Structure 1
């Protein structure tokens, strides 16, 4: 039977105190470990949050890079320049964007962050260099555009001057052509009967039955502008019905006046020498002449140079 001695009571107190100390220590350790665990969890959550923010920022940087490279591609296309290298850059950035967006579902490590930051820096450097190149190209294009505009303006002025010169030359040529037109000083119409005798009437009126041939004499006026050269004079004898006498067997044919075809009755060649030379036609119809007023027209170098009429009764 144990005795409840003072010594035993003292030992029990010491044991209880020791147990309490141990329990308190264990509890403190557990509280500290729980605190550490919670702190670590919060730290990991913060790290994950920071990584997510970094990832989204990196995605935005790549999207901005893509937009800038697409802008450069459009600017080069607008200048008509090839942009294959930029298209390759855009394809690479699209591939990187796809990889970055994939990290939303898996771990985005520090190594990944460094890798994409370095790649983004390289892209930004390339972007800056390409912007400088495009700026130089734009300046060159502006210079070329200005030079081309000046050249076109000069060409337009030269073309206008040439047109004006041609117009002036054409006007001068026309004036010279008009000034060099020959003219007749007089035209006489005589008839030749079947016996070969000529008859001249001041009124140019003759009996149709007496006419075998018709002789037309004319004198050319002086013209110092006209070239002294071989020429051809065409004679049209127009009957009362308005038709020109025309017979291939007697030398008739066709010529042009102001772009229109006209029949001539006879023609002859001569050399104009500006001496008021006299020329003549003798025409034989080889048929009876119509009664009424006949008209004689003379043409040289495309101009009517003389005209007269006579009447057959």
Structure 2
């Protein structure tokens, strides 16, 4: 009887120990699985944060690419990009926090998806703007080419007109057909007497007519006379200047003639301020900036 009592007590202890061990094993198992689950949650959260950071960086890079294009963005596009960059900085700051709840992660992911949609639409606008700029550039280049061509044609036309005008001007210039020079003196009665000696000469009289020219302008023309003595000296007043053949010149005498292309004769009388000397005197006539012709007389 005593032996049966001992065995029953021992059996109770064994059952109790088994129960304790099972309980401990269960507790340890629960704690193990809980820790493992917590670890998996931490790893998952960390991985999700890294993925979100990468997405944010991609979005930021897309905006940087747009800026690298150096496009002339309108006010609305600039404002939209500004707001997007503010949101990116907010998300980056949020993702830098040590711990984030799943709700915070979900909220960040939703905002990033919104940003992705925005960037896609934004890029579509940029592509459209690039196409528009390219089209405008082509039109501008075409317009510049057209303007350049027109300017070249205008320049060529102006040059041709200038050449034609110069040709017409030369062709329309008055030229002497015939010119004669006589020396004379005036008697007390007022009568003019032709002379051949230098000692008795008082004036030179130049008589000339003009070659018929239908291109020449009819009407009054200024005619300038230049007289050179036998030594080749120009006999002219220093204050008398005109321009002909592209040069500034001095003249001895000037007068107007009324040209009507009718073979009229014109006469210019010129008085020397000094006594005439022996030798050949040369006269040259000019009008409208061109030489008309010349003639000579010899005084003995």
State TM-score, norm by structure 2: 0.91
Shift in alpha-carbon separation, 1:229–1:193, aligned structure 2, 3 A? closer
- Give 1:280 shift: 1.0
8 Å CA contact 1:66, 1:94 repeated in 2: no
Aligned partner of 1:65 in structure 2 is 59
- Give 1:169 shift: 1.5
Aligned partner of 2:40 in structure 1 is 46
User: Is residue 215 of structure 1 aligned with residue 205 of structure 2?
Assistant: yes
8 Å CA contact 1:70, 1:90 repeated in 2: no
Cα distance in 2 for residues equivalent to 1:223 and 1:284: 31
Q: SS at the partner of 1:36?
A: helix
Aligned partner of 1:3 in structure 2 is none
8 Å CA contact 1:254, 1:262 repeated in 2: yes
Q: SS at the partner of 1:294?
A: strand
From 84, 91, 110, the equivalent of 2:86 is 91
Superposed, which structure 2 residues align to 1:95-114 within 5 Å? 95-101=90-96, 103=97, 106-114=98-106
- Give 1:194 shift: 5.2
User: Is residue 162 of structure 1 aligned with residue 154 of structure 2?
Assistant: yes
Aligned partner of 1:55 in structure 2 is 49
Q: SS at the partner of 1:37?
A: helix
- Gapped regions of structure 2 (runs ≥ 5): none
Aligned partner of 2:136 in structure 1 is 144
Per-residue CA distance 1:141-191 (angstroms, 9 max, x = gap): 122111112211221221122122212221221121111111111111101
- Give 1:135 shift: 1.2
Cα distance in 2 for residues equivalent to 1:109 and 1:181: 103
Cα distance in 2 for residues equivalent to 1:50 and 1:218: 118
Q: SS at the partner of 1:295?
A: strand
Aligned partner of 1:306 in structure 2 is 293
Per-residue CA distance 1:108-141 (angstroms, 9 max, x = gap): 2101111110110110011011111111111111
Aligned partner of 2:251 in structure 1 is 264
Runs of 4+, deviation exceeding 4 Å? none
- Give 1:92 shift: 2.6
From 6, 9, 28, the equivalent of 2:22 is 28
Cα distance in 1 for residues equivalent to 2:52 and 2:73: 33
Cα distance in 2 for residues equivalent to 1:123 and 1:34: 46
CA RMSD in angstroms, aligned pairs only: 1.9
State TM-score, norm by structure 1: 0.88
User: Is residue 182 of structure 1 aligned with residue 174 of structure 2?
Assistant: yes
